[in-house]
Amino acid sequence: MPDLDEIDLKLLKLLQQNGKLTTKETAKQVNLSPTFLGLLILYFG
């Protein structure tokens, strides 16, 4: 398993706090585009 970077850690913390956020809301809070976040989800999901 690859090491977690800063973005990964932010995502984990955010989703642990509120797992019902939409992709758009989550992306905004971690300064990513919704498209890129969706690709991360598909790749690692």
Question: d(Cα 43, Cα 33) in Å, to the nearest integer?
Answer: 15
Task: Check: CB of residue 30 under 8 Å from CB of residue 17.
Answer: no
- pTM for this prediction: 0.79
Quick one: what percent of the chain has pLDDT higher than 90? 73
- Determine the pLDDT at residue 1: 61
Q: Give the residue extent of every domain in the chain.
A: 6-14+22-44
**Local confidence band at 41 (pLDDT 50, 70, 90 cut-offs):** confident
Question: d(Cα 31, Cα 37) in Å, to the nearest integer?
Answer: 10
**Local confidence band at 13 (pLDDT 50, 70, 90 cut-offs):** very high
Question: What Å distances lie between residue 13 and 1, 7, 10, 16, CA to CA?
Answer: 19, 10, 5, 5
